[in-house]
Each structure stands twice: as C-alpha cells, then as structure tokens.
Amino acid sequence: MQGYRVLVGVGGGIAAYKVCEVVSTLAKDGVQVRTVLTDAAQEFVTPLTFATLSRYPAYGDRDFWQPVHGRPLHIELGEWADIFLLAPLTANTLAKLAHGMADNLLTNTVLASTCPVLLAPAMNTDMWEQAAVQRNWQQVQQDSRYHTLAPGSGLLACDRVGAGRMAEPAEILPYVRSLLHTQGDRDLIGKHLLISAGGTREFLDPVRFIGNPSTGKMGIALAQAAHHRGAKVTLVYAPSTAIESVRAFGVRCIAVETAVEMRQAMLAHFSQADWTIMAAAVADVKPADYSPEKLSKSALPENLLLAPVPDIVAELASLKQPHQRLVGFAAQTGDIVTPAKEKLVRKQLDAIAANPIDQPNSGFGSDTNQAIFLDRHGRQHHIDQPCSKLTMAHQLLDFIHAMPKC
C-alpha cells in the first residue's frame, strides 16, 4: 500500500467516529491519507484527531482560500488523490453530488477531482427512505466515478432500528484497497462468478468430524474483489467466521458443511457462472459410517473406515462449456509447481493457484498469502512474498481476465 494517496471527506454525522479507524488503518498500511471535514463534521470529531491519525493536516472550510504551493487547495487536493472516500455521506452532501453543486471545500474538491469516489451514507431511517434521498442515491450511481456502499440496518444513534447505519470499517477498507488496485475499473460487469470457500467437515457423529484448517478467508477475498469489480457473485462457503464481510453488501452466500452439500450447491449454480473458482479446501475422504447419536469414547472404532467423497472440480470440468472458465487451488508443501501442473491437466482446469502452505504467513488461517498461478496455455505468475489475500485475489482475477480466449 506504500505510496498510494487516499483523500477522506468526512460529513456531519455521529458515524464520523468510525472513520477514525479507517484513517488510522490506512496510515498504518503506508497509505498517504488526507482529510477534509465539513463544518458539521467538526462538531463530532475534531480536525486534530484526523491530523494525528493520518500524520497530515486535516482541512476545513476555513482553509478553503489558503493556497497550497500557490494553487487553490481544492484543486491541489483533487489532483493529489488516487481515491476519494466520503464517509459518512449525509443527505445534504448527497443532494449536492447528485446535482453537481459545490458550496464548501469538500464538494468543490469532489468536482476538482477525477479519481474514483467511494460513498458510504449514514442517516436516520426516515431520512434515508425519503423519496428525494432515494432519487439522489440512484442518480449518483449513474455516474461511473461513484462506487457505493449502501447503509446497513441496525440500532441507530437516534434509537431507531432500521436502515441508515453506515458501513463498518471492515467493509469500507477492503473496498478502498480494491479501488486502489483497479482505479475504479469495473472490468467484471456482466460476469457471474461462482466461488467456493472454507473447509468442509465430514462427520463421524454429531460432534466429531474430519476437517482441515481452512478459514475461508481466501475465497471471501475473491468474492470481495469480484464484487468490487462489478461482477455478480455467488459464494458457496463451508463454515467461516468472516462471512458477514461479504454478505452485507450483496454477495449471494450459500452455507454448506459437507463435500456432498458443496457439490449440490456448486452444481446448482455452475451453468449460470462465467467463471468458477474452487478456493474451498474440500475433504478427500469421509468416515464410511455415520452415527446419528454421539458415540461414547469406548464405542469409537479403533480403525476408522474411510470412504471417498465427490471430486467436485473434476465433475464441474466435465460439464464446462466453451465460454466458461474453471479455476482450482492446490495447497502444497515443498515443490508446489509440479503437483499443481499435474492437477491442472488431470482435472481439466483452465488455471490453478498453487499455495505454499509450509511458508510463514501463507496458507490456511493467515491474513496474507503467496502463490504461483498457472494456466493451460503455459503462462505463470509468481507472488513470491506474502501479500494480503485481497491483493492476491485481485492478481488472480487479473490473471484469469488475461487468459487467451481459445
């Protein structure tokens, strides 16, 4: 994230306190962050707070006419930014954006910039549901510059329960990072991606199962990245604690536990998918016998008989149409390329991501990852140092997008 520049516009609402975490996290990641506050925003959080968290001055309307290096401030800031985040976006500022109005430093800077703008509204439920506000919300979404995180529902600061709650930092930060990678390009509009995530569980009885350490973070990162790039996404996930980070903004999420359940869900949606990415760690075997009641310790078999589970990716490959792309994952130790190439050919995949799970900060459960991507045309792409799983997800989508069509 070193060297990127994010401009944050803060509106007047209690949700401004959440933006402190966003600014602090980006700054810790090495991003240059500058903030612009409306007069109303300064009633909730002081400019000093944001200046301290970002290590850069925070600007308000009192600074509007103070030149920077001899140039107007709104011009300088607008040209400086790679990404512009507006959070919380108030009904007042939304109306100004929808109609191209500019009467303060924040809105003038929006018009003086050309970078992608991410909007995260926050307001009372009755305000959000007003017809005029909804018209303005729909209108800004017609402008390709604007990317949007619709508010969620919950208990608001006014004690109302309903829509209007600003997206959480855990939703805002991945979107900002995606925009820094894509510069706002929605190159997957019109495509439907089917993605699997997590590790399946194969039960011996109601409390014991054969499983693996997969947390689903890689598959969820792929779903986030694809959604941010405009794709329609269906995510089939085995148990994962991170699923709410994608469910909240419109990714269709289908929960499964076993390999049989994952097979059923993947087959049900495969024909509608343009790209299918099998990031899940699916079990290879299951207990041959299942007890519907918990087995006592003395009743546990000394030798556990095992039975194979469906080979989901091979079955999908047999059904694949010429316009579809099927991508697998191979979690390996030691030499990761040789077995990945063999799996690529044997399973008739279009591409595969080979993960070195024996390397630090990579593989199961980690927030970072590294990999080698290979495709059936002989191309390779190496990620030799651990990066965030969202960054790796974008690089994999880039790799698939660049694949030859034949």
**How far is it, in rounded angstroms, from Cα 342 to Cα 348?**
10
Q: Catalytic pick from 20, 115, 158, 406?
A: 158
Q: Report the half-sphere exposure of 48 (CA within 13 A, side-chain side).
A: 1
Tokens coding 391: 């960054």
CB atoms inside a 10 Å sphere around CB 3: 9
Closest CA to 16 of 39, 98, 26: 39
Name the one residue in this structure whose structure tokens are 């900060």. Answer: 361
Which residues, in sequence order, are CB contacts of 367 under 8 Å at separation 6+?
217, 388, 389
Cβ-Cβ contacts under 8 Å for 124 (sequence gap 6 or more): 156, 158, 160, 164
- Report how far apart the first and last C-alpha atoms of the chain are (Å, whole number): 35
Provide DSSP, 1-42: -TT-EEEEEE-SSTTHHHHHHHHHHHHHTT-EEEEEE-TTGG
In this structure, are residues 23 and 8 in contact, taking their beta carbons and an 8 Å threshold? yes
> Among 83, 171, 178, which Cα is nearest to 392's?
178
Q: Is 253 assigned a catalytic role? A: no
Cα–Cα distance, 399 to 402 (Å, whole number)? 5
Strand order in the sheet with 32-37: 58-59, 32-37, 5-10, 83-89, 117-121, 146-148
Could you list the active site residues?
A: 158
